[in-house]
């Protein structure tokens, strides 16, 4: 009997397996530059370089730059049974839509009870649907469908993610609505907007009293930036707290179950900001937290941190003209954004050789956001990705990865065929980042150059960033580069006539303004350090690479320059 049973059991197991212009009047005087291996960085992440001049500090901003928020991850706490819900100063909870947990860095993990991997559209397993090229299954498996469009309301992937977030919202418990009469009796002023209600103990002023209207406008602008229909904002009702004296708000009970924060915090339908003394920065901080609430409500998750914090910083940086709000600006100067000193942080770090690579930015965690450095670099990277013409289209997809596992890996997969180019462009951006930076004048043509046949003459523009010469310089060979012509350098005190030799009246990154510079870009996107050419030089590269040329100027001023000049490149015998 035992033998029969073993044979029967074995059977069960077995069955279950299964083109050249006119001659140039060029000077023959040259300087020789030897480019050796040490002067060549094989890593596109090396951005140590020459000193960068910095703008004057903004008026009244000698104090320490305020932080957006404190980074203390905390446990999510359900508001069910919260004493605040039974407080006589409050009414019953409202059905709302603003994100919970998370502020600048004091974030609570999202409590999304819906299992994204087990509730996909269609039938069958993830593997089965992937084999049938189901775009949603591909999306879930990290195989990003190239064709999907996050700005198309009918796109199935967009619909899928937004529907998931909507379903998750049904499980959240929002903060109760405050009783307005009781709040007035507490010494705290109440200012009503359409979707935003502001509670503050700061004294009345025309600009401050306009904050609710500004925040209402900001919410609409935020939705537009992320392609969300305004109709989806109808259910938004957010209480904003601008705090001068904490004790008043503690007595009111609104800080109960809110972890300590130094500057700002966001929790579902409530956002908080401590008075930063600058009205500009107070408004910025409230918009920053509003971005967090919006993103959590629409997309669900709060990670990766660099994207969440960088997006809040970049979106909230604003310009207000005739009561019309423009978000996501690049500041014209330091005085336009008092209290916001992130650009100076980027420039100082770059000067010291401490600029951050994308990988270092991806690794930022909650504790990194206690100071302003992580905010500055997250802001700069999101600003770069959102504005660079070569990368911004795909970057629109990133918010939709916040609900899925390994969002940083998914981000890199979007640019896997262009990653080395992206690294080079990022490094060039941080080297030349300045007020009024013009992304339209800075994109780099990454087409590989061809070997030089005799000589080649070029016309270069004075108002562009790096320009591809179309020439590949070969390792071990010697080349002479000569330049001639006159162009105009823009200057606040009047335009300056210039030649490729530059003007020593002003320096930028250690070189005279307007001086002709060169750089070699190798096949792996590694590059030589920038080298000066001026009116002429000789070079003997140790590595082969495409030659790029530009005049020395910041990314914020180059667009205002005028004119062109000529450059001749020819192979020599090394003498």
pLDDT at 9 over 80: no
User: How many percent of the chain have pLDDT more than 90?
Assistant: 56
pLDDT at 566 over 50: yes
User: What is the tens place of the pLDDT at every residue in 204-229?
Assistant: 999 999 999 999 999 999 999 999 98
Q: Using pLDDT thresholds of 50, 70 and 90, give the confidence band for residue 312.
A: very high
To which residue do tokens 């619909």 refer?
A: 159
pLDDT band at 526 (very low <50, low <70, confident <90, very high): low
Contact present, 527 and 445 (Cβ < 8 Å): no
Q: Which residues contact 2 (CB under 8 A, 6 or more apart)?
A: none
In this prediction, residue 574 carries a pLDDT of 63
End-to-end CA distance of the chain: give it in Å, rounded: 98
Coil, strand or helix at 40: strand
Q: What is the pLDDT of residue 48?
A: 31
d(CA 437, CA 369): 25
What average pLDDT does the chain have?
Answer: 79
More confident residue, 18 or 226: 226
Tokens coding 366: 């909650």
- Rounded to 10 deg, the angle between the 342-351 and 419-432 helix axes is 100
Cα dihedral: 152, 156, 159, 162 (round 10): -110
The Cα 130–Cα 126 span in angstroms is 6
Q: Among 16-25, 153-162, 236-245, where is mean pLDDT lowest? A: 16-25
- The distance between the two most distant Cα atoms of the chain, rounded to a whole number of Å, is 106
For the chain, what is the radius of gyration of the CA atoms?
29
The tokens of 75 are what? 């446990």
Q: What is the mean pLDDT of residues 160-164?
A: 88
Residue, of 63 and 495, whose pLDDT is higher: 495
Least confident of 174-178, 329-333, 496-500: 174-178
- Report whether pLDDT(563) > 90: yes
Which range scores top for mean pLDDT: 7-21, 82-96, 121-135, 155-169? 155-169
Check residue 121 and give its pLDDT: 37
Residue 133's pLDDT band, with cuts at 50, 70 and 90, is low
The DSSP bridge pattern shows strands 545-551 and 40-41 to be: unpaired
- Percent composition of the chain: helix, strand, coil (DSSP 3-state, to 5): 35, 20, 50
In contact, 255 and 261? CB cutoff 8 Å: no
Q: Which residue has the higher pLDDT, 15 or 427?
A: 427
SS (H, E, C) 458-482: EEEECCCCCEEEEEEECCCCEEEEE
* Residue 266 scores a pLDDT above 90: yes
Other C-beta atoms lying within 10 Å of the C-beta of residue 436: 16
Across 336-340, average pLDDT: 93
pLDDT at 520 over 90: yes
User: Which pLDDT value is given to residue 49?
Assistant: 31
pLDDT for residue 230:
85
Which secondary-structure segment (H or E) carries 274?
strand 270-274
Q: Which of 129-133, 137-141, 443-447, 526-530 has the lowest mean pLDDT?
A: 129-133
Listed range (191-200, 334-343, 436-445, 517-526) with the worst mean pLDDT: 517-526
Three-state DSSP string of 288-334: HHHHHHHHHHHHCCCCCHHHHHHHHHHHHCEEEECCEEEECCCCCCH
Most confident of 32-36, 180-184, 285-289: 285-289
Q: pLDDT tens across 394-412, in order?
A: 999 999 888 788 889 989 9
The model's pLDDT over 171-191, given as tens digits with 9 standing for 90+, comes to 888 898 888 777 878 889 999
Average pLDDT over residues 308-312: 96
Is beta strand 238-243 parallel, antiparallel or unpaired with respect to 270-274? parallel
pLDDT band per the 50, 70, 90 thresholds, residue 525: low
Residue pair 356/347 in contact by the 8 Å Cβ criterion: no
pTM beyond 0.85, yes or no: no
pLDDT score of 19: 37
Per-residue pLDDT, 198: 96
Q: Average pLDDT of 279-302? A: 92
Please give the Cα distance from 500 to 485 (Å, whole number): 7
Over residues 304-323, mean pLDDT: 96
- For the ranges 132-141, 194-203, 301-310, the maximum mean pLDDT occurs at 194-203
Most confident of 40-49, 161-170, 188-197: 188-197
Tens digit of each residue's pLDDT (9 = 90 or more) over 43-98: 333 333 333 232 322 323 333 455 565 433 333 333 232 333 333 344 434 433 33
Tell me the three state secondary structure of residue 143.
Answer: coil
């Amino acid at each position: 009997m035992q033998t029969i049973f073993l044979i029967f059991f074995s059977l069960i197991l077995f069955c279950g397996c299964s083109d050249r212009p006119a001659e140039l009047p060029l000077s023959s005087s040259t300087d020789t530059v030897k480019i050796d291996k040490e002067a060549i960085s094989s890593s596109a992440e090396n951005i140590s370089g020459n000193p960068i001049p910095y703008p004057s500090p903004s008026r009244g901003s000698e104090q320490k730059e305020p932080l957006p928020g404190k980074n203390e991850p905390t446990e999510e706490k359900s508001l069910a049974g919260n004493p605040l819900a039974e407080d006589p100063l409050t009414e019953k909870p409202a059905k709302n839509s603003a994100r919970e947990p998370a502020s600048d860095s004091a974030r609570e993990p999202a409590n999304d009870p819906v299992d994204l991997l087990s509730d996909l559209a269609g039938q069958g397993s993830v593997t089965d649907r992937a084999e049938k090229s189901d775009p949603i299954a591909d999306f879930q498996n990290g195989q990003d469908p190239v064709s999907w469009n996050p700005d198309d309301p009918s796109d199935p992937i967009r619909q899928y993610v937004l529907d998931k977030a909507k379903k998750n919202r049904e499980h959240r418990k929002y903060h109760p609505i405050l009783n307005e009469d009781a709040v007035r009796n507490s010494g705290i002023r109440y200012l009503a907007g359409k979707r935003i209600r502001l509670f503050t103990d700061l004294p009345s002023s025309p600009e401050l009293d306009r904050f609710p209207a500004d925040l209402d406008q900001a919410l609409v602008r935020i939705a537009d930036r992320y392609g969300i229909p305004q109709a989806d904002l109808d259910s938004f009702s957010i209480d904003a707290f601008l705090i001068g004296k904490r004790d008043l708000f503690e007595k009111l009970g609104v800080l109960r179950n809110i972890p300590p924060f130094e500057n700002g915090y966001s929790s579902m339908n409530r956002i908080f900001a401590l008075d930063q003394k600058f009205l500009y920065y107070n408004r910025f901080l409230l918009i920053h937290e509003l971005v967090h609430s919006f993103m959590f409500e629409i997309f669900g998750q709060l990670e990766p941190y660099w994207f969440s914090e960088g997006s809040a910083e970049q979106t909230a940086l604003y310009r207000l003209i005739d009561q019309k709000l423009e978000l996501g600006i690049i500041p014209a100067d330091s005085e336009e954004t008092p209290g916001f000193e992130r650009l100076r942080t980027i420039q100082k770090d770059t000067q010291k050789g401490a600029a951050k690579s994308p990988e270092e930015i991806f690794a930022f965690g909650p504790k990194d956001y206690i100071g302003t450095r992580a905010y500055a670099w997250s802001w700069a990277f999101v600003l770069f990705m959102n504005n660079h013409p070569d990368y911004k289209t795909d970057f629109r997809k990133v918010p939709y990865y916040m609900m899925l596992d390994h969002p940083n890996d998914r981000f890199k997969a979007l640019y896997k065929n262009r990653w080395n180019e992206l690294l080079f462009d990022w490094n060039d951006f941080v080297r030349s980042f300045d007020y009024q930076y013009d992304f339209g004048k800075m994109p780099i043509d990454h087409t590989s150059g061809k070997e030089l046949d005799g000589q080649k003459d070029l016309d270069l523009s004075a108002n562009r960033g790096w320009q591809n010469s179309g020439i590949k310089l070969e390792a071990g060979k010697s080349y002479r580069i000569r330049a001639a012509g006159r162009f105009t350098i823009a200057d606040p005190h009047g335009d300056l006539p210039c030649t490729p030799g530059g003007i020593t009246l002003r320096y930028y990154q250690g070189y005279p303004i307007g001086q002709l510079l060169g750089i070699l870009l190798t096949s792996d996107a590694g590059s030589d350090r920038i080298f000066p050419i001026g009116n002429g030089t000789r070079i003997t590269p140790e590595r082969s690479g495409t030659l790029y040329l530009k005049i020395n100027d910041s990314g914020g001023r180059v667009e205002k320059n005028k004119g062109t000049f000529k450059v001749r490149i020819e192979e020599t015998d090394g003498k």
